[in-house]
Amino acid sequence: MAGGELLLVDPDSRLSQLGLQPLWREDLSCYFPSRILGGEEESLAQLANQWCNRMWGEDVFAWPAVWPAASCQRVAARLWRRLGRRPLCVVNFGVGGNPAKRVADPFEEQVVAMLASRWPGVVLYDAGRSPFALERVRRALAEAAAQGVPVGFATEDEAGQSLAPGCRLVGFRGSIGVLAALLERADAFVGYDSCCQHLAAAAGLGGVVVFAGAPHQRFRNRWRPQSRHASLTVLPVADGRRPGGEGATLQAVTKLVEEVAASLGLLRVH
């Protein structure tokens, strides 16, 4: 590039997808046609690396990474200290507004109850930003408390200062930046196909992604999380909304979570 020139890269976002809203003149633009590149197996992370290497004549693989703001790191550090720096499993059941990605009730409640009783540390159940998700988290906390599980709720603003020592299940409501910083301090992740699976993969976490609602295997391959270190296991579910299928999915999630705990040398709590 010559002096004074600027390279603007937009990674196939909704802003410029398919060139429908170009950021610059057509003769100076190169698009990343992710829907027609590659074969059936590559993930979007692999395709993006291949495209960048062709564009700039490199032969490298840039692993997904996240750099939360310093303010988010400070909040996450305070909350983690408040949690006692115990082994941390983060749960996020966000689906980006697509209910087809969910598994039929009572799957989510069963997963949280299983983790609260078996995960050897503390489970952080993210409430996202929607009233629907917040209500589900509060209901899960109430049900766990009724079973004698020590529970609490933390927000980004107060960074868990109101939490009592020894909580095993903690609801959380905050920004995606603080959640990303918390994932960097976590040991495992459980959730659906969503933004958070990619944050967890970038943080090098083990765990399980319940991948429901995918129209075909190629879709799952494209959107599977990519990680340099520990890998998240993708658990495909053909139709998560079908009643009766949540039991087998719960058993599979339980087995995978126990394998993650064992790989970390953590004792399972019965």
* Residue pLDDT, tens place only, 202-219: 999 999 999 988 888 888
Kindly state the average pLDDT of the residues 179-197: 95
* Calpha distance 256→116 (Å, rounded): 15
Query: What gap in Å lies between CA 98 and CA 87, rounded to an integer?
Result: 31
Please compute the mean of the pLDDT values over residues 226-235 and round it to a whole number: 83
Listed in sequence order, the residues at least 6 apart from 44 whose beta carbon sits closer than 8 Å to its beta carbon are: 12, 34, 222, 223
Residue that is written with structure tokens 């799957």 in the block: 107
Per-residue pLDDT reduced to its tens digit, 110-125:
999 999 999 999 999 9
When pLDDT is cut at 50, 70 and 90, the band that residue 245 belongs to is low
Interval 218-236 mean pLDDT = 85
H or E segment and range at residue 97: none
Using the predicted structure, report yes or no on whether residue 186 has a pLDDT greater than 90. yes
pLDDT in tens, 6-39: 777 766 666 655 556 666 777 777 777 777 777 7
Task: Kindly report whether the peptide bond that precedes residue 106 is cis, defined as omega within 30 degrees of 0.
Answer: yes
Least trusted range by pLDDT, from 144-148, 173-177, 244-248 = 244-248
Task: Name the average pLDDT for the chain.
Answer: 87
Taking CA 58 as the corner, what is the angle to CA 53 and CA 62, rounded to the nearest 5 degrees?
65
Which DSSP symbol is given to 171? E
Specify the pLDDT at position 268: 46
Q: What are the pLDDT digits (tens) for 79-89?
A: 999 999 999 99
Better-scored residue on pLDDT, 20 or 262: 262
- pLDDT above 90: residue 5: no
Can you list the domains of the chain with their CATH numbers? 1-62 (no CATH), 70-263 (3.40.50.2000)
Q: Distance (Å, rounded) from C-alpha 144 to C-alpha 147?
A: 5
Q: How confident is the model at residue 175 (pLDDT cuts 50, 70, 90)?
A: very high
Burial of 243 (0-12, 13-18, 19+ CB in 10 A): exposed
